[in-house]
Chain A
């Protein structure tokens, strides 16, 4: 690769990625988010969480298709950014929307499928955020760590379902996100099949 260091890449993604969150917080505290600011903040943080999570899952497929290596280097930053938005989304719901009413939230999480899947997605992302450090990769060993982090795909699927079930009628936008996710999955599946065939050729029966 031409530029092997790219020291600016991850800081730039972190700063650019967090800017909308900062803007939401500032406008929100000034009451500048419109008639239903809490709903607006919920929609924005949820959308960004899903978009950035899907972007993080795009890193490996993009590398496979293009041969570029830089996408692999921003995967962790994107993953942590997605978790940050997912956590902000949940905190907006829990603190501002529900006023920390534990009973109402428990009812939501356990009896309303759309909230159940959203909450599950967050619960899946939390251990991935914790184990995102190099130290944890070493501690778990790479194969095990990699298997664990495939949960990000499950979280993204749940995120799309959460989005589909949330809209009142028009599912165009959530379905679009689902289609991108399916495409990424197809690339990885194709790669896995190719690898398996290559392996089979190496070891004739």
Chain B
């Protein structure tokens, strides 16, 4: 049998079958390489997706300017550079729409903010159930450029538009028993999908001592940058208390109730040790898990020192005279 085979061609003439096969193998390997790299990279991408870039959120259209604006009052305004509109409207904590910073921008635009009724009741002589537009038009709106310091150690400078809460309280006339003001956010899991998850006790509630609520710095905001408040920032009506951590600024308010006793507040209910009722910005009292001594101003790289009462000590420190701010944090 062996003898019948033709003689092998010399080595130099061998058809480069091996080379040919190698070429195929190379192509195959290149394909496998690219495929595997894509799967690994894509897998990591998907894992990180939950934290998509905040900027991927929906930047609301400028919209109509709300109402005639009274000029910025001046005395309380900071002249620090204002945080860009896009950052203010795409980097939000509003757990009613999800836990990530860009969830509110992506999901809150469906919130129906008109018609909207606000109930003001409790220890007042003149309880008032009022349509939000009627409420807003009952007071001259003011522009206030405030620092906002989040408990997570970042901060912004926001030109709010709104009415001093004290003016509204004057109108409903607190009784002599009124010592606190309680606020409640809308509860509507259909519109606020985050409320379907038990991450917080819904609805979100907040509270102030009456003298804090009456302080001229305390604002009920209805807009920012001269425009109507976008839903992700708490439309149609939200609280702004610039010397306190941001979570005190309850959003999309439906009820304001004056009370005799300190009202429950959501983050305090969630974790008493980490979040107090007062929540005054205080660089000397750290969050149990992180430092509050410094903060990152959105748009800046290096940190800046955090100021007592967020820089409003001159105006508000008197409210807490004699109190131990380390205990009543």
> Which of B44-52, B122-130, B132-140, B219-227 contacts the other chain?
B44-52
* Chain A contacts for B56, CB-based, 8 A: 34
Q: Which of B112-120, B295-303, B320-328 contacts A (4 or more CB under 8 A)?
A: B295-303
Tell yes or no: B248 within 8 A of A by CB: no
Give the docked Cα–Cα distance between A90 and B111 (Å).
Answer: 40
Residue A191 lies at the interface, judged by CB distance under 8 Å to chain B: no
Are A170 and B99 in contact (CB-based, < 8 A)?
Answer: yes
A36 and B30 contact, Cβ closer than 8 Å, known pairs A16-B37, A20-B41, A107-B291: no
The residue on A at minimum CB distance from B275 is A168
Interface stretch of the complex, out of A40-48, A58-66, A134-142: A40-48
Q: Check if B152 is an interface residue, CB within 8 A of chain A.
A: yes
CB–CB A47/B47 < 8 A: yes
Number of interface residues of B (CB under 8 A): 49
Report 27 cross-chain contacts, Cβ distance below 8 Å, ordered by A residue.
A11-B37, A12-B34, A13-B36, A13-B37, A15-B33, A15-B37, A16-B42, A20-B41, A20-B45, A27-B53, A33-B55, A34-B54, A34-B91, A35-B54, A35-B86, A35-B87, A36-B154, A38-B296, A38-B301, A40-B51, A48-B48, A52-B44, A97-B303, A99-B302, A165-B289, A169-B95, A169-B199
Chain A residues closer than 8 Å to B289, beta-carbon distance = 112-114, 165-166
Residue of A nearest to B156 (CB): A35
Task: Scan residues 270-329 of chain B and give those whose CB is less than 8 A from a CB of chain A.
Answer: 270-271, 289-291, 293-294, 296, 298-299, 301-303
Q: In the complex, what residues of A have CB within 8 A of residue B54's CB?
A: 34-36, 40
B70 lies within 8 A of chain A by Cβ: no
Of A20, A27, A38, A108, the residue contacting B291 (CB under 8 A) is A108
Q: Which of B30, B47, B293, B294 contacts A48 (CB 8 A)?
A: B47
Beyond A9-B32, A12-B32, 7 additional contacts (C-beta under 8 Å) are A17-B41, A20-B41, A34-B91, A44-B48, A104-B291, A108-B290, A112-B291
Interfacial chain B residues near A40, Cβ < 8 Å:
51, 53-54
Residues of B within 8 A of A36 (CB): 54, 91, 101, 154, 296, 298
Q: Which residues of B contact A166 (CB under 8 A)?
A: 289
Q: What separation, in Å, do the CA atoms of A7 and B55 have in the docked complex?
A: 40
Counting chain A residues whose Cβ lies within 8 A of the other chain, the interface size class is 35 or more
Minimal Cβ-Cβ distance residue in A for B154 = A36
Which residue on chain A has the smallest CB distance to residue B151?
A168
Question: Are A20 and B44 in contact (CB-based, < 8 A)?
Answer: yes
Interface residues of A (CB under 8 A from B): 7-9, 11-13, 15-17, 19-20, 27, 32-36, 38-40, 43-44, 47-48, 51-52, 96-99, 104, 107-108, 112-114, 165-166, 168-170, 173
Give the complex CA separation of A13 and B82 in angstroms.
Answer: 44
B69 neighbours in A (Cβ, 8 Å): none
Neighbouring A residues of B86 by C-beta, 8 Å: 35
Which residues of chain B have C-beta atoms less than 8 A from A12's C-beta? Answer: 32-37, 40
Q: What residues of chain B lie closer than 8 Å to A112, measured between beta carbons?
A: 289-291
- B195: which A residues are within 8 A, CB to CB? none
Q: Which chain A residue has the least Cβ–Cβ distance from B30?
A: A8
- Complex CA distance for A129 and B53, rounded to whole angstroms: 31
Are A169 and B200 neighbours in the complex by a CB distance under 8 Å? yes
Complex-state Cα separation, A34 to B45, whole angstroms: 17
Residues of B within 8 Å of A96, CB to CB, are 301
Which 6 A/B pairs are nearest by Cβ-Cβ distance?
A16-B40, A16-B37, A34-B54, A35-B91, A12-B36, A8-B33
Q: Chain B 189-229 against A: per-residue CB contact (8 Å), 1 yes, 0 no?
A: 00000000101100000000000000000000000000000
A12, A13, A33 — most chain B CB neighbours (10 Å): A12
Q: List A contacts of B298 (CB < 8 A).
A: 35-36
The residue in chain B whose Cβ has the minimal distance to the Cβ of A44 is: B48
Q: Establish whether residues B37 and A19, one from each chain, have CB atoms under 8 Å apart when the complex forms.
A: yes
Q: Which of B48, B56, B271, B302 has the most CB of A within 10 A?
A: B48
Identify the closest chain A residue to B302 (Cβ). A99
Is the C-beta of B102 less than 8 angstroms from some C-beta in chain A? yes
A35 touches B41 (CB 8 A): no
Smallest beta-carbon distance B154→chain A, Å: 6
User: In the bound complex, do residue B102 and residue A11 qualify as a contact, i.e. CB atoms below 8 Å apart?
Assistant: no
